[in-house]
Amino acid sequence: MKITDASVYPYPYGDSSVRRMALEAKALGFDRLVAADTPSGEFYGIEIYSGILIRDTAVRDLICRIKRERNNEPVVSVQAGDNGFNRAVINLKGVHILRGLHSADKNAFDHVAAKMAADNRVAIDLDLSPLISGRGFTRQRAMHRYRDILVLERRFEFPITISSHARSILEMRAVREITGLCSLVGMDTADVEMALFGVDTITASPDPAVKVIR
Amino acid sequence: MSTRPPTLREKRRYLLVHIEPAGTIIDQKDLYYTVSDATTSLWGDVVAAVITSAVVASEGQYVIIRCQRGTEQDLSVVLSTITTCCDIPIALRMVAVSGTIDTLRDKIRRVTTPDLESPSPRECTFDKKLFQINQCNGQKVDAIEKGFKNTNRLFLTREDLEEL
């Protein structure tokens, strides 16, 4: 199990190279980063997973994109939309993470979608950037949504991931700081630890439905 | 006004905080207002009045921030929500907590920060743009785009430069 930041955006999206982000992540207590549109690799002892974020796409185009990327084995994230879209996305094979629920509709993620996410092992991402850089209503809404997601998570036990969405090393936060920020939405240390290991849960090969015993 | 005896004084804690990126010069008063605003924004006036944060000392890239004993955790969450100070992008990394300023000053002296090397070469190109190397610290290299407008700061490593 490796402590993972589920989404960072190195250069050219941000102002820091992937190596520099890896160096910073090591100092901040991480073992792995999921970096957008960056080849997988390892720098300074930090494992880099390639990640893609798909947004503003119809479900049909989404299926084509996932098929195209299947050989590269990236961590596939999809930006959340309305409830119907989210349910369709969660049912797709190859989708790992559903992101951006803090800015989606109020009813975008309900108990049915939560049950489906648990069954299909699709993680729900908690983006810390609105808690870090947001002020006033933006932060309050994000905190409210995250509390709601955590209520469903305790009931249905779908995977959770935590991401900083850092575009610069200055936006990255240490594991201890993340624990403090997550305490704002009612997560204790054990919950945060579990969420930081969330990428392991979704990328591990699933247990076979049938086990042959000789 | 006579000084209160030690048992009646408020119990305080001091946080040693490192300012990133290297070479950023922040005025102590500006940082105080930034911390104060962030505290009020996150916890509201009631808790901010309990925390009573204050920037009490500044030594190079380190600052010492005071708070009430028992509110260190709340203040550390506040520090992690600070992203800019006077429109300068910064990150505040908490290094240590202590009951005395002296201990933290000792800690600053003990922290072995490698001397900032004079970078060579002074200029480099990255992604077909010309950059001036601003800071070199171990593997870390901070470079600023040359020009009059849209000068961006990039955070790179020596290996990134070697690949060019």
CA-CA-CA-CA dihedral for A110, A116, A120, A122, to nearest 10: 0
Q: Are A9 and A165 in contact, with CB atoms under 8 Å apart?
A: yes
Question: What local confidence, expressed as pLDDT, does residue B113 receive?
Answer: 57
In angstroms and rounded to an integer, the radius of gyration of the C-alpha atoms of chain B is 19
A208 in reach of chain B (CB within 8 A): no
Residue of A nearest to B127 (CA): A12
Q: pTM for the complete prediction?
A: 0.89
Q: CA angle B98-B37-A102, nearest 5°?
A: 100
Question: What local confidence, expressed as pLDDT, does residue A187 receive?
Answer: 94
A167 in reach of chain B (CB within 8 A): no
Question: What local confidence, expressed as pLDDT, does residue B121 receive?
Answer: 56
Question: What local confidence, expressed as pLDDT, does residue B112 receive?
Answer: 56
Q: Are A5 and A31 in contact, with CB atoms under 8 Å apart?
A: no
Render pLDDT for A4-58 as a digit per residue (tens, 0 to 9).
999 999 988 999 999 999 999 999 999 999 999 899 999 999 999 999 999 888 8
A88 in reach of chain B (CB within 8 A): no
A20 in reach of chain B (CB within 8 A): yes
Task: Check CB contact under 8 Å for A184 and B73.
Answer: no
Task: Check CB contact under 8 Å for A170 and B83.
Answer: yes
Distance CA A123, CA A121 (A): 6
Render pLDDT for A122-172 as a digit per residue (tens, 0 to 9).
999 999 999 999 999 999 999 999 999 999 999 999 999 999 999 999 999
B117 falls in which pLDDT band (50, 70, 90)? low
Task: Check CB contact under 8 Å for A15 and B90.
Answer: no
* Cβ-based contacts under 8 A for chains A and B: 71
Short-list B73, B82, B91, B79, CA closest to B13: B73
Give the three-state DSSP class for B42.
helix
Question: What local confidence, expressed as pLDDT, does residue B110 receive?
Answer: 84
Instruction: Using DSSP bridges, classify how beta strands B62-68 and A97-99 pair: parallel, antiparallel or unpaired.
Output: unpaired
ipTM for this model: 0.88
**Which residues of chain A are within 8 Å of residue B20 when distances are taken between CB atoms?**
169-170
Question: What local confidence, expressed as pLDDT, does residue B42 receive?
Answer: 96
User: What's chain A's length in residues?
Assistant: 214
Render pLDDT for B23-51 as a digit per residue (tens, 0 to 9).
888 999 999 999 999 999 999 999 999 99
Q: Over chain A, what is the mean pLDDT?
A: 92
User: What's chain B's length in residues?
Assistant: 164
Contacts 24+ apart (CB under 8 A), B73-76: B73/A180, B74/B43, B74/B47, B75/B15, B75/B39, B75/B51, B76/A176, B76/A177, B76/A180, B76/B15
Q: State mean pLDDT over B149-160.
A: 82
